[in-house]
Amino acid sequence: MVDGIGRGAGILAAATVCGVASGMFGIGGGVLLVPLLGLLFAFSQHRAQGTSLIALIPPTGVLALLAYAKGGYVSWKTGLLLIPGVFLGGILGGMLAKRIKPRSMREVFAGILFALGAWHVFSAWWH
């Protein structure tokens, strides 16, 4: 865990890495920033998730979208179809998260990351 003066610099460094990853790979908040806030800066799982949302959705999401759109890499129809599900799912997920204990939340989060990571690794090797 980082304490004192280095905390602000550490958070800025972690955010920079996450911003680069978000722009390059479409990942950042859930995959990188949430674990980094928890592991390096002792944020609870709930606090890390909430903090990553405020940091990544408005600035990084819009800027990365513009860069990808300029390159012709956006399926607007699919993206627009995703919005209602993500919107309603985000509300439901936020309500459910309040009912889950922090340790259980971290365990579920880690399990999801592991499963998706393993799936991605194997699909990359076999395709």
Instruction: Report the greatest alpha carbon distance in the chain.
Output: 47
Number of structural domains found in the chain? 1
Instruction: State the pTM of this model.
Output: 0.69
Task: Tell me the residue range of the domain where 67 lies.
Answer: 5-126
Q: Give pLDDT, residue 103.
A: 92
Contacts of 49 (CB under 8 A, 6+ apart): 30, 34, 97, 105, 109
The predicted pLDDT at position 104 comes to 92
Query: Would you say 11 and 33 are in contact if contact means Cβ atoms under 8 Å apart?
Result: no
CA 117 vs CA 93, 123, 124: distances in Å: 21, 10, 11
DSSP 71: T
> For the segment 48-62, what is each residue's pLDDT rounded down to a tens digit?
888 888 777 777 778
pLDDT digit string (tens) for 27-52? 777 788 889 988 899 988 888 888 88
Please name the residues in contact with 22: beta carbons below 8 A apart, sequence gap of 6 or more: 28, 29, 56, 60, 61, 64
* Mean pLDDT for the stretch of residues 91-112: 89
Q: Each residue of 60-101: pLDDT tens digit?
A: 778 888 888 999 998 999 888 888 888 888 889 889 888 999
